Amino acid sequence: MTIRTLTRRAALAAVAVTGALVLAACGGDNDSAGGGHTGHGSSATASASAAPSASATAHNAQDVSFAQGMIPHHRQALEMAKLADGRASSARVKDLASRIEKAQDPEIRTMTGWLTSWGEQVPMAGMDHSAHSGMSGMSEMSGMMSEADMTALEKATGKDFDTKFLSMMVDHHEGAVEMATTEKEKGQYGPARTMADAIVTAQNAEIKEMKQLLGTH
């Protein structure tokens, strides 16, 4: 009985040792595989995140020009749109003016953020008429109203305001579309090109709407 018991215990011990070694080996393999996988995953994730980050911040002179030009351009559109409240007689003109404000004010903030992050000059408030040069090369921005144009719009009321507002805003939008089209063709910064595409689409639709409204005045 004693020999049999000892033999059984020895056999069980051998099985236990063998099982422990197998488990340790498996664990080691898993750790190695897991460690290797984790390492590759982290490296791949880091590389993947680094690549888009570098690409996302890449911009060129056209992107800077677009933002520096479109900010004062949008500011003038907002100035014109704000005049509609209390002056326009058409509910549709007031609605259009409200939509212009809601669309372009956030875009101004976004473009200001781009210029700040790039270390570029942000156009000062007030550089929103064609008489103001603003940034270098911005003195002849397409579609900008003159001081005389803005004064005439401020003095107009009722249907006269509606007609002046629509006529001026058509020209203003056409200028913005031209600037945005140039950005789409020559810009490098992805978000700027995306905004430019949105401006072209939205403002072309509003140009069509305004020309239809002009036909009813």
Q: Report the Cα–Cα distance between both ends of the chain, in Å, rounded.
A: 116
List of the chain residues with pLDDT < 50: 1-7, 10-52, 128-139
CA distance 162 to 187: 35
CA distance 200 to 178: 8
CA distance 128 to 188: 25
pLDDT, position 140: 59
Contact indicator for 116, 57 with CB cutoff of 8 Å: no
Helices 158-186 and 61-83: crossing angle in degrees, nearest 10, is 170
Task: Region of 145 please: left (phi>0), alpha (psi -120 to 50) or beta.
Answer: beta
Q: What are phi and psi of 154, to 5 degrees?
A: -65, -35
pLDDT, position 43: 38
pLDDT, position 54: 53
pLDDT, position 36: 41
CB atoms within 10 A of CB 24: 10
pLDDT tens across 98-107, in order?
999 999 999 9
